[in-house]
């Protein structure tokens, strides 16, 4: 290992905090030295894309940096409904709702379900945004093994509505899940299926619809 590589490994092992003064790209500059950047959630690099930056500046000049009101007020920005209609068209749903973050979106759904449903079933590695409590127990088996046992698991649960919460894919291992298993779910109880597709939406499948349309077709066709 080169001396430079050893120094960078030592920095990582010490869990040093890197305070920078510029937007991270594929690299960052820390104390005058370049480092490769593998963290963050800007997977597509849009914050550094010049065309996207131009659109953001153009939108700020039109809408401002913040809308100091509520969507429930009698003066509304039409961009919300316009954007949600386009998003619904992409994923193939009747409607859509946008929130400030993926974590917020998941918590809005799970908190609403908590008042409607008594039993929550989580898939392996289900994202914390979907959790209905600060701490939940996730299955340790593989996703493929989990889907096989779900119908039997449902038979052991007291009668009543159930929510099944899962990711659309394993973003860490780049494993794209198959949802044919939803066709085998029993029809003797209300089941709400919640799929977190935040890591596939806009990227996978035709038009960036990811797994939404395939799941919808399985459920309603």
pLDDT, residue 13, reads 52
Containing domain of residue 183, as a range?
Answer: 101-220
Residues 211 and 105 in one domain: yes
CB of 109 closer than 8 Å to CB of 92 = no
Q: What is the mean pLDDT of the chain?
A: 83
Using one digit for the tens of pLDDT, what is the confidence trace for 84-106? 999 888 888 889 999 888 899 99
Residues 107 and 216 in one domain: yes
Sign of the dihedral through C-alpha 40, 170, 52, 67 = negative
pLDDT, residue 171, reads 77
Using one digit for the tens of pLDDT, what is the confidence trace for 12-66? 455 567 788 888 888 888 888 888 888 777 777 888 899 999 999 999 999 888 8
Residues 113 and 216 in one domain: yes
Q: What is the mean pLDDT of residues 189-214?
A: 74
Residues 214 and 128 in one domain: yes
pTM for the full predicted model = 0.76
Q: Where is average pLDDT lowest: 35-39, 133-137, 183-187?
A: 35-39
Query: Is 69 part of a structural domain of the chain?
Result: no
Distance CA 199, CA 42 (A): 11
pLDDT, residue 158, reads 87
Identify the CATH number of the domain in which residue 216 sits. Answer: 3.40.640.10
Residues 116 and 216 in one domain: yes
Query: Is 161 part of a structural domain of the chain?
Result: yes
Q: What is the mean pLDDT of residues 120-139?
A: 93
CB of 34 closer than 8 Å to CB of 28 = yes
């Amino acid at each position: 290992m080169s001396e430079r590589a050893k120094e960078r490994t030592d920095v990582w092992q010490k869990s040093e905090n890197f305070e920078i003064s510029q937007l991270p790209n594929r690299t960052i500059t820390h104390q005058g030295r370049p480092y490769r950047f593998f963290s963050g959630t800007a997977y597509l690099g849009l914050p550094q894309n010049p065309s996207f930056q131009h659109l953001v500046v153009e939108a700020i000049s039109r809408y401002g940096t913040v809308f100091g009101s509520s969507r429930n007020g009698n003066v509304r920005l039409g961009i919300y409904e316009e954007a949600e209609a386009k998003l619904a068209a992409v994923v193939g749903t009747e409607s859509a709702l946008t929130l400030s973050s993926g974590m917020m979106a998941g918590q809005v759904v799970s908190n609403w379900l908590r008042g409607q449903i008594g039993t929550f079933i989580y898939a392996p590695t289900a994202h914390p945004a979907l959790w209905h409590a600060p701490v939940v127990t996730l299955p340790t088996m593989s996703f493929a093994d989990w889907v096989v046992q779900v119908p039997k698991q449902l038979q052991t649960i007291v009668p009543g509505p159930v929510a099944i919460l899962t990711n659309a894919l394993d973003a860490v291992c780049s494993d794209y899940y198959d949802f044919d298993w939803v066709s085998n779910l029993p029809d003797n109880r209300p089941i709400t299926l919640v799929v977190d597709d935040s890591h596939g939406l806009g990227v996978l499948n035709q038009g960036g619809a990811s797994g939404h349309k395939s799941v919808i077709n399985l459920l309603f066709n």
